[in-house]
Amino acid sequence: MTAGRRGKSRRPVLRSGPLAVLTYLIRRLFAAAVMLVVIIMVVFGIFFLVPKWTGVDIAASFVGKQADPAAVEAVREKLGLSEPIHIQAWEFFKGIFAGRTYSTGGDVVHCSAPCFGYSFKSEQAVWPVLTDRFPVTLGLALGAAVLWLVFGVAAGVLSALKRGSLWDRGAMVAALAGVSLPIYFTGMLSLATFAFGLKWLDAQYVPFGRDPGGWFGGMILPWITLAFLYAAMYARITRATMMEVLGEDYIRTARAKGLPERTVIGKHAMRSTMTPILTMLGMDLGALIGGAILTESTFNLPGLGQAVLNAIRNQDLPIILGVVLITSLSVLLANLLVDVLYAVIDPRVRLA
């Protein structure tokens, strides 16, 4: 009897409450900080070590093809490319968090944090250039995310509840079309139909500060086009997950207790169904905040996607580097938010 009591007393007790939530958040924040440092170092290696190993001269890319050796050497000195690689890595890391100073001869230029360097073409600081375009991409990503979550999840849940029905088959055919058709095709088709043909919507982008109504009207087609692709994927995932959840024992138990079907689906089944949806949302939304290249190019939106596309054409390395870092940070923050939502939706996560 004593041994039995001891065995019971040694069983781990799962505690919930403010302390458990705080501990969970601290763990996730620490993991995110470590991952951020790793991402910065990996990006530095890709953009500075790999060109050096492959024989690409970054200073020559900054000056241009028709530059004399003296100008190339001056730029190399200004950007600190002549320093040892560990000093370059430290200056790059420090510039992101504390700013950086560039000096050439008697001239000293301070780049405020976060410093991603200067554009090879315009010689402007990269961060202000990207922050001017960031609201466009953020508005595109958030607006499309609302649409694809509402319609994609709703379509998937209804298809799972009406498995084999006409709605289920029609929704899955539409989802298959959404996944298969490229954005530039659906984007051009929507422009030709609703903007240039029927003239129901305006295809011209207007900044929100200048005309909120014009901004909303110009973003409807990009939102729908981008949401159509993701809503199709979310509908298929939601349908498959919901069908699996509906076969679980606790769902049958809830129905056997006489709970209303709305409570069974909304309170019990949806909690488990939303877990993979949140995982996808963190990755997709974070990546889109870094730039939806095809959508922004199709609708001529001056966002990060269009900026990185122009930078690739012009071989403007600092702009590409800045967008990569913003994309990585966006994915990291989005997944951190998803981890927090995990603990809200499923208490087993924070008790693990």
How much is the pLDDT for 349?
59
Q: What is the pLDDT of residue 1?
A: 44
DSSP codes, 37-64: HHHHHHHHIIIIIHHHHTT--HHHHHH-
What does pLDDT average to over the chain?
A: 84
Residue 132: its pLDDT value, please?
92
pLDDT at 9: 42
pLDDT tens string 13-25: 445 566 766 787 7
Prediction pTM value: 0.83
Residue-level pLDDT at 115: 87
Q: Return all residues near 302 (Cβ < 8 A) that are at least 6 apart.
A: 133, 136, 205, 296
Mean pLDDT of 38-56: 85
Tens of pLDDT, residue by residue over 264-317, are 998 888 888 888 898 888 888 888 887 688 899 999 999 999 999 998 888 888
> In CATH, what class is 132-308?
mainly alpha
pLDDT above 90 as % of the chain: 26
Is residue 12 predicted with pLDDT exceeding 50? no
Enumerate the CATH 1.10.3720.10 domain ranges in the chain, comma separated: 132-308
CA–CA gap between residue 121 and residue 318 (Å, rounded): 10
Per-residue pLDDT tens over the stretch 320-332:
989 989 988 888 8
DSSP 217-279: HHHHHHHHHHHHHHHHHHHHHHHHHHHHHHTSHHHHHHHHTT--HHHIIIIIIHHHHHHHHHH
pLDDT of residue 283: 85
- How do residues 213-249 score in pLDDT, each as one tens digit? 889 989 999 999 999 989 989 999 999 999 999 988 9
The predicted structure's pLDDT at residue 136? 93
pLDDT above 50 (res 6): no
* pLDDT above 50 for 212: yes
Comparing CA positions, the residue from 192, 175, 313, 272 lying closest to residue 233 is 175
Least trusted range by pLDDT, from 4-8, 94-98, 119-123: 4-8
Alpha helices (H) in the chain, listed in sequence order: 2-9, 18-44, 50-53, 58-63, 69-78, 85-98, 126-161, 166-180, 183-190, 212-246, 249-256, 261-263, 270-289, 293-298, 304-314, 317-345, 347-351
pLDDT in tens, 294-308: 899 999 999 999 999
Give the pLDDT of residue 104: 56
3-class DSSP state of 107: strand
